[in-house]
Amino acid sequence: MLNRDLKLVFTTNIVGSFGDGLFAYLLPVYMGNVLGADAIQIGILYACMVLAAASTLLISGTLADRYDRKKIMIAGWLAWLPAPLIFAFARNWTEMIPGMVMWGFWLGQPAGSAYIVTSAEKSRLTSTFTIMSAGWSLGYIFSPAIGGFLAGTVGMKTVFYLAFIFYGSACLMLSFIRSQHASHEQNASEREYSFLKLVKNRKLMSLSVFFAMLMFVTMMFRNFVPKYLSDVYKITDFEIGVLASILFASSAVLGILLGRLGDMKRKSYPLAISSIFIAAAMVLMLWSGNFSILVLSFVFNGGSYITWSMLSAIVGPTAPESCRARWIAIPQTLCMFASFAAPYVGGLLYSASTQYPFIVAIITMPVFAFLSVKILKE
């Protein structure tokens, strides 16, 4: 199903995400317990990351439509390399800001999405994207538990150093894929797609707004799940790591299964199902701190990690090849700008009540499920 290049991208996702998973899920706990950041300050840090992502996506898309997409994808991993080292040496939450900004440089996202759309079999595009997302999730299956164990035994600095090594390895592996340039042999109307013309496309902007709203809610509550487990249920770092491993194992399985459903039926169905799963996950988490119940909650919450891949699967095929990376970058950028305030809003809600961010998700996710079926025709 995957050609040589896509298999290498898949493997790169596994290696890179393993390094990312060593610390990513524990990072909010580290910010609070070690660096003394409160909920609002944690929200500010994640808002910095999101703002950096929003600022780089469209630039990346423009570069990927003009130059070798492979090189832009590699540049994305290179931008991430300093982040874990900055985290390792931070002495307070403000010194985390440069690392969060570097971690937010998503240079490889539009280029990678365009690369996959061009390389994949068109009849299996949804499942290809969800398989790529599953590769990212596979790297997370064991790494959060390992990261939690190492954090409790040798400290988070060692965890950050290991993440740096895995980021570098992922960057090196990606250098073996074939180069890919956008084809500019289309008709004149396709070649004249300026940014202004792209944002005037009603279909593209409708999809962009929908995904931006969905991403806002997801980013608002997601980073506070591990903090909630630590604050309310007194779950240890290792137990949080185990739950995160379950989360990403579920994400890998759900991604593949829902991707196949999207290829066979409609691409909107995986979005609807995953939204319902997210609401169910939050209900279970708020209901009980029993570890077995939390395991089930995290299994359902695995659906929250397919949204980004579904964005590419739905938006990507609608784009002309000559401007595909920029086309995909527009909803990705809008998602990030819409999500810029989400961690801060989540922090405000969490400060008012530890349950509020998750109650908002419980209320809104069924609405997104309904809208995805009624509005999205893909």
Predicted pLDDT at 200: 63
Instruction: Quick: pLDDT tens for 312-359.
Output: 777 766 666 666 667 777 777 778 777 777 877 888 899 899 999 999
Decide if 313 contacts 322 (C-beta within 8 A).
no
> CA torsion, points 195, 197, 200, 206, in degrees to nearest 10?
-60
Alpha carbon distance 171, 15 (integer Å): 9
Instruction: Quick: pLDDT tens for 106-130.
Output: 777 778 877 887 887 777 767 777 7
Decide if 1 contacts 263 (C-beta within 8 A).
no
Angle between helices 39-66 and 342-352 (to 10 degrees): 160
Q: Please check the confidence at residue 187 and state whether its pLDDT lies above 50.
A: no
Q: How confident is the model at residue 193 (pLDDT cuts 50, 70, 90)?
A: low
Q: Please check the confidence at residue 196 and state whether its pLDDT lies above 70.
A: no
Instruction: Quick: pLDDT tens for 17-60.
Output: 899 989 987 888 888 888 888 878 887 888 888 788 878 877 87
Residue type, 231: D
Share of the chain above pLDDT 90, in %: 22
| CA distance to 6, 200, 275, 345, per residue, from 362 (Å) | 36, 33, 9, 16
Decide if 29 contacts 23 (C-beta within 8 A).
no
Predicted pLDDT at 132: 80
Q: What is the DSSP code string of 118-136? A: HHS-GGGHHHHHHHHHHHH
- Domain count for the chain: 1
Q: 82-96, 170-184, 326-340: which range is least confident on average?
A: 326-340
191 domain-assigned: no
Q: How far is CA 134 from the centre of its chain?
A: 12
Q: Which residue segment(s) compose the domain that 364 sits in?
A: 4-176+196-375
DSSP state at residue 336: H
366 domain-assigned: yes
187 domain-assigned: no
Decide if 110 contacts 60 (C-beta within 8 A).
yes
190 domain-assigned: no
Predicted pLDDT at 201: 66
Q: How confident is the model at residue 190 (pLDDT cuts 50, 70, 90)?
A: very low
Can you give the CATH number for the domain in which 59 is found? 1.20.1250.20
Predicted pLDDT at 85: 95
371 domain-assigned: yes
181 domain-assigned: no
77 domain-assigned: yes
Instruction: Quick: pLDDT tens for 239-295.
Output: 887 888 888 888 878 877 877 777 777 777 888 888 999 999 999 999 998 999 999
261 domain-assigned: yes
Predicted pLDDT at 307: 74
